[in-house]
Every structure is written in structure tokens, then in C-alpha cells.
Amino acid sequence: MQNFQLLENESIQTPFGVFAGVTSHVCYPTGELEGLTLSEKNMMVTHIGELIPFYSETERRKNKYSVEFYKSGTVKAVSLDSQQEVTTPIGEFPAELVTFYESGELSRLFPLDGKISGFWSEEDERNLHIPLGFDLGFSRFTARIGAISFFQNGGIRSITLFPGDTIEVSTAYGSITARNGFSLYESGELASVEPEAPVQINTPIGTLTAFDPNAIGISADTNSLEFYPEGTIKKLTVLGNTIAVQTSDSQMEWFHSRKIPHPLEDESEQLVGIAVSFDSGGGAVEIKGDRQGNFVIKDCGFTVGKENAGEAYTCSPADCASCSLCGKGASIQ
């Protein structure tokens, strides 16, 4: 069912208003308007300000919808013709692309929206970025921002950093240098962060090395190091460790990182770390590596060893002092 009307002179009537200079439009399979591209200046009045949709195609910004819609006819995204100040729940910020929830609230803001290609490099885009400052309690920083995501209630959901920028984030486990960005709970507490380098985290099963070499910085909504609202560890990706578990029935289970085919490079492999998740009380743990297991912590013994690029774990004298992996040490409790 159509939610728009084609008018004369390349114009379209939508529930959001009339758009002139429409060069093309695309519909959902069910007939509703999905997106349109413009070649003339149009003005949209929104609760975040007066927006001028994209109409001046350049090598840096091309092949884009000017305005994108939900099936209901409400605006999903607006690609702005040039960077302009928009009003957000936390103040005014520069934007070249904004997205909205279907109910109308601002969902995400992108200060810049250039397309990296042979004509436009990441360094070219970086040179256009103006660093922005934030003071969020757990982190006070100024950095180049890739995107700011909001909850429907207006609180910050995540801040994604521009590639190459890092910030310092305070946690219950010390200060962590973060790349890619971080996410928050609706109540404002730190939910997750992406470590820039391996960091030691003291967990209920031992000290683990948290780092995800495969973390993708497109969005910081989720990251490899997660916390509960009170700050305790919830989940982490472990690299450089092997985890040995002695179960209540004296069985041994070993967990290693694993290698998988690289998704972009033929005949290459990438190392995938061990995913370790704790329940909210810290009484149980789930471990996913080259195998998977769930354990009640008080009923098991755990030994954390060193692993080098997926190689087999070998005991050290320090390990033997506190475990029974080979029958030479004491039982772990």
C-alpha cells in the first residue's frame, strides 16, 4: 500500500511533506516509499532543527538516499547536504547524517558521512573531523567521533570513535585505553568498552587477558568487554590465555582460542578469542572457545595459563603450585 503520491515536476507528496527535485525513488516490495534522492534544495522541519537533505552529489558523498523512510511513512534517516548543527538531547552537535526511531526520536548522529573509496581516503575524512569534548564521569575526553547513538529516552546509548582515536575510560578494574568506543545503560552506567590493547581483568575464575583483535569499529553499541551496571565484569573476550577447568567430578576440561578462515583474505586465518560470561552474582560462568561449557564456580577449580597464538598450554612452576592438572599440585577450591 502506497504511503506517498507522485506529483508533477518530479515531486513527491509524503506524510512528512512535499519533496521537489526527486531524481529517483525506491519502494518496499509491499509498495511503501523506502527512499528518495534529490537534485534540488528542500527543507525539512524536525524536532532536531531544520534539515536540508542531500542534493549536491560529490565523489566524497554519492549514491545515497537523501531521505529514507519506514514503511509507516515516518522518516528513518536524513543525509544532510552539508554538515550542520542539530539539536540533540545532550546539546547541539554537527552532523552530516541523522537517523530516527520510528516513533520520531533521534537514534543516531554522524558528524561526517563521507564514503571511503579510491577517490576519498580515511585520512582525507579524518582531516575534516573536529574533535568533540565529553564529560561522562567515568571518562572526560576530546576525540574525533564517528557516531553518537541515543536511547529513545534521550540518554547516550554509545559513542563510536573515529578509527585511530583512543580515550581513557575508568572502570572498577582500573583505567582502560579504549578504541572503537563504549556503550552505556539507559541509566547512564558504563555497559561495555573496547580495549585498545590487552588488559588484565581480575575475574571470579582468575586474572584473564581481555582483548579482541577482530573487533569492528563500525558501531560501539556492543563491545568485547562488558560490565554489569554496578561495574562488575559481565563478559569478556580472552586472548593469550588457556583456561583449564577441574569439575566437581574431577574431570578436566580445557578451553583454547581457535583459528578460523579469514573472511576477507583467502588462504589466511584469524584468531578468535575465548568468550567468558559471568552471571550477575558471579556464581556461574560460561566459557566458549574451541569448545563450550557452563560451570558453577564454587564447585570447580580453574587455572589460567598462557597461550601463544593458539599453541597448546604448558604448565609453569607457578601453575603447579595451585592446581591438579597433572596430579602434581594441590586441588583448586
Q: Residue 40's domain spans which residues? A: 1-108
Distance (Å) of CA 124 to CA 93, 117, 127, 171: 21, 10, 5, 34
pLDDT, one tens digit per residue, over 226-273 is 999 999 999 999 999 999 999 989 899 999 998 888 776 777 788 899
pLDDT, one tens digit per residue, over 116-162 is 888 889 999 999 999 999 999 999 999 999 999 999 999 999 999 99
Residue 287 lies in a domain: no
| pLDDT of 31 above 50 | yes
Provide the 8-state DSSP code for 317: H
More confident call, 155 vs 59: 155
The x, y and z cell numbers of residue 162, run together, are 573515529
Residue 49 lies in a domain: yes
Distance (Å) of CA 16 to CA 36, 81, 88: 13, 18, 20
Look up the pTM and report it.
0.88
What is the b/e burial string over 150-161, where b = at least 16 CB atoms within 10 angstroms of the residue's CB? bbeeeebbbbbb
> What are the φ and ψ backbone dihedral angles of 297, each rounded to 5 degrees?
-60, -40
Residue 119 lies in a domain: no
CB atoms under 10 Å from CB of 253, counted, come to 15
Mean pLDDT computed over 7-15? 85
**pLDDT reported for residue 325:** 43
Residue 253 lies in a domain: no
Residue 214 lies in a domain: no
Which pLDDT band, with edges at 50, 70 and 90, does 59 fall under?
A: confident
Mean pLDDT computed over 212-224? 92
* Exposed / middle / buried, residue 318 (Cβ in 10 Å: 0-12, 13-18, 19+): exposed
Amino acid making up residue 159: I
With cell 506517498, the residue in question is 4
With cell 531521505, the residue in question is 67
| pLDDT of 182 above 70 | yes
* Share above pLDDT 90 across residues of the chain, in percent, rounded to a whole number: 75
Residue 88 lies in a domain: yes
Residue 71 lies in a domain: yes
**Taking CA 98 as the corner, what is the angle to CA 62 and CA 66, rounded to the nearest 5 degrees?**
35
Number of folded domains that form the chain: 1
| pLDDT of 317 above 60 | no
Contact of 193 with 176, CB cutoff 8 Å: yes
What is the full DSSP assignment across 237-284? EE-SEEEEEE-TTS-EEEE--EEEE-SSSTT-EEEE-EEEEE-TTSSE
